[in-house]
Every structure is written in structure tokens, then in C-alpha cells.
Amino acid sequence: MPQIFSKKANTYSRVSLFCLLALPAGAIMAGMAVTRGPAQTNVGMPLDQPVPFSHKHHVEELGIDCRYCHASVETSAKAGVPTTETCMSCHAHIWTNSPLLEPVRKSYETGVPIKWQKINKVPEFVYFDHSIHIARGINCNTCHGPIQDMHITWKGQYFFMRWCLECHREPEKYLYVNPRDPDKDPRQKAFDLYSLNKYGEDLTPIEWRNLEGSDLKFSKDQIAEGEKLVEKWGVKVKQLTDCWTCHR
């Protein structure tokens, strides 16, 4: 890493960084009081929803792509939840008498959206962006747990700062070339996994751990591959741990 700032400039930037942080700190503390309240969802606990929507049914059994319902996940900060129209693209024709789908039909008739309870949330003072993570081939399940196995959706991770930082400090440990198809766009990797599993393909060890949403433990060789990707993609590792990357 070349030295960009002189030692003196570094001291200046530390001082100004301190001033920058002193102000938002008040807002952050105030935010904490709210976000750490009893309403916070626990990891592994399914939340009661107005409709008992099952990812297991729709993803694993029917094979519907995440992007059919979370259409903006690749292109914007938010993944978004699907509109009633998306559900009705099928449920206007199938399972039309199911009592479980009554709230969906009602929402369609009245135009009042279904009020899904939010499960995953970072506090207001944290900036998160889906698209950059998907572009780097980081799997949904790394952050959300084994979604394809969930009948009622639960939270896969507490988004503690130290958890985000663990990957931001050493992204080379999480970026990998899939030996199945090394030239494939990393973006597609995140989505292929579910259909490979559905159609009973033999998964590589990395794919298995991705699917389970468990900690990725890489061999030396894989980490060396990751380092090459950091270079190839110009990932600015130093900036990834800067406060203003996530607090802006």
C-alpha cells in the first residue's frame, strides 16, 4: 500500500475525523435508544406475518428466482418486498380459494398494500447497499441465513457493526471464483445456488456453506484467489473500514 498522506496530514485528518464524529455521535446514541428497544427481532425467530408466506414453498419447491419478488436487489440499495400484483400474477389463477390468501385478495381489491413485518433492518444512521454486495458475488444467505429452508421467514444475522467489519477488513476471505464455472459473472453465482440445489447437483464445499449461511472457512489457496479478485475488481480495502462508508 503506497503512503498517500504524510504523517502530518494523517494527524489533521484524525483531528477532523474526531470533530466529524462528535456531532453525529449524539444522533447515533439517540438512535440506539430506539433501535435497541424490545421490538428488535431475534435471530432464528420467525415473525408473525399477515400471510404465512413460505420461502421454502416458493423458492425451493417451485424454483422461483429471488429477483422475481425482490426485483431491485441487484440494482439498488434496497431489495424491496413484492407488491400484491406480484403475488396475484399466480394467485389470480391458482389456489384462488385458499383462506390463507384472503388478505392478498383483499389487498388486491382495495389497493391497500399488505403490511409485512420488517425482519432485517439496520438503524437509520447506517448506510447499506445491496447492489454492490451482489455484484461481488456475496450470497444472500451469507447475510440472511438459509432462506430456501424457511417456512416462515426469520432473521439470519444480527447486523452488528463488528460483523460487517469482519468481512470489510478481509474481503479476500469472502470473495471467490466458483470452480464450477470460473468465468461466470459473480452476480449470477448468488442466484444459481438455489436452482443447483433444487435440481440435486453436487455442490462444492463453498456452495454448501453458502447455502447453509454458515461461516465461510477458506483454505490458503482460496484466500489467494480472493486476493487476486480484490486486485482485479479494484476493491478499496482501506476505505471499506472507514467510518463514512457506512455512516454518511
- Positions in 81-110 near ligand HEC (CB under 6 A): 81-82, 86-87, 89-91, 94-95, 98, 100-101, 104
Which is closer to ligand HEC, CB of 219 or CB of 244? Answer: 244
Q: Per CB under 6 A, which region of 2-10, 179-187, 217-225, 237-245 contacts ligand HEC?
A: 237-245
Judged by CB under 6 A, the number of residues near ligand HEC is 80
Give which of 170, 163, 162, 169 is closest to 213, Cα–Cα.
Answer: 163
Backbone angles phi, psi at 171, to 5 degrees: -60, -25
Which residue, among 79, 11, 4, has the nearest Cα to 239 in the 3D structure? 4
Q: Which residues contact 178 (CB under 8 A, 6 or more apart)?
A: 137, 184, 189, 204, 206, 207
**Positions in 42-61 near ligand HEC (CB under 6 A):** 49, 51-53, 55, 57-59, 61
Residue 43 has phi, psi (to 5 degrees) of -60, 135
- Cell 482485479 belongs to 232
Closest separation between CB of residue 184 and ligand HEC, Å? 16
To the nearest whole angstrom, how small is the minimum distance from the Cβ of residue 177 to ligand HEC? Answer: 14
How near is the Cβ of 38 to ligand HEC at its closest, in Å?
16
CA atoms in the 13 A half-sphere facing the CB of 42 = 3
Please, which residue, 9 or 21, has the CB nearer to ligand HEC?
A: 21
Task: Tell me which residues in 180-199 interact with ligand HEC (CB under 6 A).
Answer: 190, 194
